[in-house]
Amino acid sequence: MASASLKLSIALTCALLLSSACHGLEIGYYKKSCPRVEAIVRDEVKKFVYKNAGIGAGLIRMFFHDCFVQGCDGSVLLDPTPANPQPEKLSPPNFPSLRGFEVIDAAKDAVEKACPGVVSCADIIAFAGRDAAYFLSRLTVKINMPAGRRDGRISNFTEALQNLPPPFFNITQLIASFAAKGLDAEDMVVLSGAHTIGVSHCSSFVSDRLAVPSDINAALASVLRRQCPANPTPANDPTVNQDVVTPNALDNQYYKNVLAHKVLFTSDAALLTTPATTQMVLNNANIRGLWEKKFKKSMVKMGAIGIKTGYQGEIRRNCRIVNRS
């Protein structure tokens, strides 16, 4: 069972989100029905992340991309079918850049062997994102992630475009995008810190950061121009590290990079365009341990977006396809 303080924390988060659906989430939700699930998922994530840190970055990003479209319901995992040829995972915000699907498949297979039909794919994504953060932060970001989400049956290409904030958004658009999901400006700044790991395709930033005047650091811009084609195409769209200083570590270096104008996206640079968000960047860059503490809270808060509980969803047997009616 969750401790009284943890239960109070979740209750306060739910109150902030004004979401009755949040009532179904609980720390240790599978303690009786599948007691080893969190250890099983963590073991699978560890195997992949220690081979390739970028997969860990992909899992954190997958959690974000799942929750912002149809809520945290595993809809980003659904493959195309004749009935639904264009699901979320084929939408430009996700394809071809989103990765880590094989980790979720491996974790789901292992969990199904231990506890058939009990654990949702949505919860596995949440656990995997949490565990990736733990390993990439050198075991310092320990998130108490509640569970109890059920899997959705709807996955729509267009909804991903409509709900996921693109890298060229300005600060007003970013704040509005997060507010629509019950997240405030501080959550937006804190969750942007995940850009301290992983890679980006050149096509995500060349046109609005390198092809026109921008505030990007001149030395970094020069390096990026050597790495990226002037006009990326699907056949020629290399990737570069998002954090040039500590590319494989989940840490607060991102905020130091923002201050030094050594970030890839317009949406990263936008954090310095208002006094309030600039102060948040300064605090996260300079106060030891602050960002990690806030990141844990914002990940839990994000994980409660639009969840399905009870009869609102299902427990998928295969994360890539909905159950037959």
* Distance from C-alpha of 213 to C-alpha of 231, rounded to nearest angstrom: 16
Of 23, 65, 201, 261, the catalytic one is 65
Q: In degrees, to the nearest 5, what angle opens at C-alpha 131 toward C-alphas 264 and 283?
A: 50
* Distance from C-alpha of 108 to C-alpha of 111, rounded to nearest angstrom: 5
State the amino acid at position 323 in one-letter form. Answer: N
> Are the CB atoms for 204 and 96 separated by under 8 Å?
no
> Are the CB atoms for 128 and 107 separated by under 8 Å?
yes
Given CA atoms 178, 183, 188, 189 in this order, what sign does their dihedral have?
Answer: positive
Q: List, in order, residues 6 or more apart from 305 with CB less than 8 Å away.
A: 17, 19, 67, 68, 71, 72, 181, 182, 183
Angstrom CA distances, 204 to 168, 253, 255, stand at 8, 21, 20
Strand, helix or coil at 277? helix
Backbone angles phi, psi at 26, to 5 degrees: -155, 140
| Active-site residue flag, 65 | yes
* Distance from C-alpha of 28 to C-alpha of 155, rounded to nearest angstrom: 28
- What is the residue-wise DSSP string for 3-64? -HHHHHHHHHHHHHHT-GGGGG-BTTTTTTT-TTHHHHHHHHHHHHHHH-HHHHHHHHHHHH
Helix axes 121-136, 101-114, angle to 10 degrees: 120
Rg (CA), the chain: 19
Active site residues: 65
